[in-house]
Structure formats: structure tokens, C-alpha cells
Amino acid sequence: MKDFSSDHFPAAPPDPASGCWIYGRAERETFRQQMMIRAKEEAALKVGYPGEFMTPHRTIHFRAMLPAGVFPVNCIGTPELTEIRMTSPGMFEFTLSVPDIEKDVPCFKCNENFHWESSFDGSEWHDASKAAGNKIPPHRMELPCAEIIARKMPDGIYDYGREVFGRVTIRNAANARLFVGESIPEALNRNPEYFEQRTDLISTDSGILRSAVPLALRYLTLENADENADVRIEAIYTPMTLKKNFSCGDRELDEIWQKSIYTLRLCTCHFMIDGIKRDRLPWAGDLAVSLLSMVHSYQQPEPIRDTLAVLGSAGIRNEHINGIMDYSLWYLINFDLYEKYFDDPEFLHQEYFRIVETADILLKQSENGLLPISGWVLIDWADGDKNCALQVLFFMALKALANLARRMDDREKEEKWETLAIELQKKIRREFYDETRGLFRCSPGKNEFLRHQNFLAAISLATPEEGRRIAENLLKNELPAVGTPYMKSFEILALIRNGFKAEAAGEIRRFWGGMIYAGATTFFEAFGEGKSGSGLYDFYGRPFGLSLCHAWSSAPAFLLPMIFENNN
């Protein structure tokens, strides 16, 4: 047991894997997602999870070309094979089934490095997915916990010193009632209408009270408990080792970076999730930031890869990813970024059919080379015409597709997607760019300008001169502000890439430093500058609806190294 008020969680990874588990494509990831959706519902979180996702299958067919020999296997499902015997080289095919997909998915462990394919219907085959593991199959593995003792303050509020996620335990208070919060006002709230998580307690055989579900909190208060109450938390964490550190010698900026990677760490939970109090599930928009933050800190590819697999599991035939049109574009952009930084050709080969399908559907939806706005287009939690911003993301997605096709040596699609990207770039600059103002307007013929399409253009399709003019306009603060740190991240990235590093550092200091000044130990889903008191935590029309630990707010983890990388 250790007090983590100042130290980070243990960094040591779990025991080294001694074998490879074979799953149907995305079956392990969708099984885990279904578990997390059930956990979200059990925790009574006030959030939906739109979009269409694949559900695990009870029966999976596997096949591979095998050499002659005897190969030990360990199967989850029936029939329970213990070995594969091949008297001569050839195709080996078998089928595994499980009785209950809420408890298991078909899979098997095989120590040989063969090229397995999988199918859920026996006719359409795709590359199987692999996961390292030991005796316990990876889909059953749970994250470890570290026990942390809460510090009781003079006013009776318990403080863990920083945001944590886990199950609260209470000793020596058999009748205690629990109230938790990411902030002190939330922990003091007694109105059930404003609860963001269920906080009921269950009694263990040893008489210890334990929260029924894992909770996101920093503070807690108790009723029906005296001074002898012993309050702790079994804090859940992902074992990761920091691969890239950062320090620029500026105490405030260094603290911002440290809190950014702690935010990222808490939001790394099997997948890259959005927030530990929100819905604890993966979203393609959040991934656009957390992926880059991971690259510049822990450099752990597995949660990113699993997030991409589950987000793309069902495709977009019926619904866009996460039910949001621009998130289907971010899925493609993020896939390219993942391959750029982690170079995972096996995963790209496994998922390429889905990438091509997604591209084909988007192109069929396009009209005169542009994507029409239909359904939910988020871009950001901000009002305004989002037409141009969507087209810029479409351009970025087409460039990402061309890069992915190049990696697959698919010259035909590479040329097609690259040509479409160039045509779209010309069209955007011709129809949306206002030469006089040096900005991209929201829609052709309209005199409305937002930051979003401009900073996205400045990091993707603008000329160097256009990018510099956009950055200068952004710094004038005459355009409406962004709605979230998610989009603030790309605004600052545009400043960095167009030569305004000092100004970018100042924006990080003002924006993320403002959250620290407001008491943040992890960074918020949104930040209303100038707000104070309990009103700081309003969101979604609820007084404590704001997530105070959100993955899309971890951006200083990659922005600060970019600012200072050539300044030493």
C-alpha cells in the first residue's frame, strides 16, 4: 500500500506475455466495449453512446495454412482442442463457439506465428486479430488497482489529492452514506437529481463497505460516520512506462505537461476513453488528441490500436462513427497518424477493407466534391456554420487515405484519393477563402468566419503565407472562441506550425494554466474562462455535468514538446 498524493501509479508492466491469442477480427475489442457499455449503464452515468458497433459473435471460424507437425493450442469455446495435428502441409480450418457472449468470446492460444484468418459466417474472411497473453485470455484480463488512503480535511471532506478512478472502501463505519465529487461542491451535493454517478455501498464478508461501481472523484463526504472511519480507494490504473519526458525549465508549463500526461493516463483504460466520469468509452474525436499525447509520452500503441478497431468495427453503412459525421473523418485521419507513428502494417492489412469501405461511402455521399452536412456534425461544442470546417476535415481524410493506400502498395486507390484531395483543396480555397481578410469563410457567399476551419486549414491545406495570415488573425481574438480544449489544441498547433511558438506557449499558459488556477489536477472537458465557484462545473444543463478529467484536454502533452523541441 502506498500514498499516491505525490507519486504516480506504478509503471511496471504486467508479467511478460508468453504466447499469442487469436481472435476473430475485432471480437476481443467489441467484447471489451460491450462490457464497458454495461458498466456505464450500471454506474447510472447520464450519457448516451450513439453510433453503430459490431457485437461479439458466439461462433467464429478460423483457418490457416499450416506446415506438417503437432501444434499445442488452448481454446476458449467448444470443441476444446488441445493440439492441432498436421500430417502434411495444408489448410486447417476449425470453428469455436461459446455459450454466452456476455462472458466470453471464441479464441485460442497458439505459440506458432501462423497467418490466421477469421470469419463469423464461414464465407467472408478477414485477417484474424492477435493479442499477447499468458494463461488468462486477454479479453478476461482486468486492470490492476493501487490502494490510496484519503486525507481527511478539517471540514470533514476527504481528499485524495488528485483525480482518481476506482472503488471506494470504508472501514469502521457500518452505516455510512457516500457522496463523491470531482470538485468540492459536487462532493457536498445532496440532491439526487444532480448526482452524476451512483454511490451506493455494498458490505463485504469482512464488514468493509465498498462502492458498488468504480467512481471518478477527488473528494468525498460521508454521512453516518465518525472520526474512526478509514476511507480508501482501490484506484484502477493502466500500467505504462513513460518513454518520453519533458521539461522546459518553466515551472508552470512543466506542471501543465505533468497534469496532461496524468489526464491521459487516467483516460487510458483498455481503450483511449473520453473521460472517467463521462461515459468511459472511446470516441473518434477524443482520439485525435489522445493519440498525439500518447506519441509524445508513454508511446503505448495497444490502446490506440484497440480503439481504432472497435470504432471501425461496424463501418458506416447505417450510421457515422459515434453517430457524428466528422468523427468518421477523424477515424481515417487517426488511422493514418497511428501508422505514421507506430508503423503497424499487420493491423493496417487487417482493417484496410473497412477503410476502403468507409472511403467509398463518404465519396458516394459527396456532392460536387464536397460533403453535404447531414445529421450530427459536431466539430466543436460551439454554434455557427460548420460547412467549411467539415470540408477541411474531408480534405485531411482524403490525404490520410492516400497515405494508407501508399503503405498498402495500392497504387490505384492512392492515385484516386490523392487526386480527389488536390481537387478538393483547390475547391475549398476557391470557394471559401477571402483574400481580403486572409480567412476561410464558413460557407460560399456568406460573411461568417469561425476559428475552426481556419486553424484546421492552417495545419493542412493553406499555403505558408495563408497559414501565417490565419495565425495572425487567430491572435487578434476577434473571432468567436472555441468551445472546448479539444479544438483549442488544433488552434495552438496551427500557431506552432506557422511560426508563432512563443504565442502558442502563452495560450497554453493562459488556457490550461487557468484550469490549474481553478484547482485542476487533471484537465477539463471544457473551460469557461472567467467562470468561478460551482458554476465552473456546469455543462449539459447540469450543475456538475462537466467532466474534469477528459482525454481531449491532454494536448499540452504533445504541444509543449513541439514548441520547445528546437529551442534548446
Q: Using one digit for the tens of pLDDT, what is the confidence trace for 184-196?
A: 999 999 999 999 9
- Single-letter amino acid code for the residue at 203: S
Q: Mean of the per-residue pLDDT values for the chain? A: 94
Contact between residue 244 and residue 518 where contact means Cβ atoms under 8 Å apart: no
d(CA 281, CA 271) in angstroms, rounded, equals 7
Provide the grid cell at 263: 489526464
pLDDT for 324 beyond 90: yes
Provide the grid cell at 70: 503437432
Grid look-up 484516386 returns 416
**What's residue 269's pLDDT?**
96
Segments of the chain assigned to CATH 1.50.10.10: 251-563
Beta-carbon contacts of residue 94 (< 8 Å; ≥ 6 apart):
61, 62, 63, 79, 81, 84
d(CA 379, CA 377) in angstroms, rounded, equals 6
Grid look-up 457524428 returns 324
**What's residue 15's pLDDT?**
58
Fold (topology level) of 145-236: Jelly Rolls (2.60.120)
Q: What average pLDDT does the segment 3-30 reach?
A: 73
pLDDT for 14 beyond 60: no
pLDDT for 567 beyond 80: no
In order of 272, 371, 472, 481, 558, the CA distances from 42 in angstroms are 20, 38, 49, 36, 34
**What's residue 70's pLDDT?**
96
**What's residue 532's pLDDT?**
73
Contact between residue 473 and residue 438 where contact means Cβ atoms under 8 Å apart: yes
d(CA 415, CA 413) in angstroms, rounded, equals 5
pLDDT for 4 beyond 50: no
Under the banding of pLDDT at 50, 70 and 90, the label for residue 6 is very low
**What's residue 565's pLDDT?**
82
Grid look-up 456532392 returns 367
Helix/strand/coil for 566:
coil
CATH of domain 251-563: 1.50.10.10
pLDDT for 7 beyond 80: no
Q: What average pLDDT does the segment 555-562 reach?
A: 98
d(CA 22, CA 362) in angstroms, rounded, equals 32
pTM greater than 0.85: yes
Q: What average pLDDT does the segment 55-63 reach?
A: 97
**What's residue 282's pLDDT?**
98
Closest CA to 396 of 469, 305, 288, 272: 288
**What's residue 19's pLDDT?**
81
Contact between residue 148 and residue 237 where contact means Cβ atoms under 8 Å apart: no
87-94's contacts with Cβ under 8 Å and 24+ in sequence apart are 89/65, 90/65, 90/66, 91/63, 91/64, 91/65, 91/66, 92/63, 92/64, 92/65, 92/66, 93/61, 93/62, 93/63, 94/61, 94/62, 94/63
**What's residue 1's pLDDT?**
39
**What's residue 16's pLDDT?**
61
Closest CA to 90 of 121, 68, 72, 120: 68
Q: Using one digit for the tens of pLDDT, what is the confidence trace for 350-382?
A: 999 999 999 999 999 999 999 999 999 999 999
Answer with the residue of higher pLDDT: 20 or 9.
Answer: 20
Q: Using one digit for the tens of pLDDT, what is the confidence trace for 272-285?
A: 999 999 899 999 99
Q: What average pLDDT does the segment 381-388 reach?
A: 95
- 19-140 is a CATH 2.60.120 domain: yes
Segments of the chain assigned to CATH 2.60.120.260: 145-236
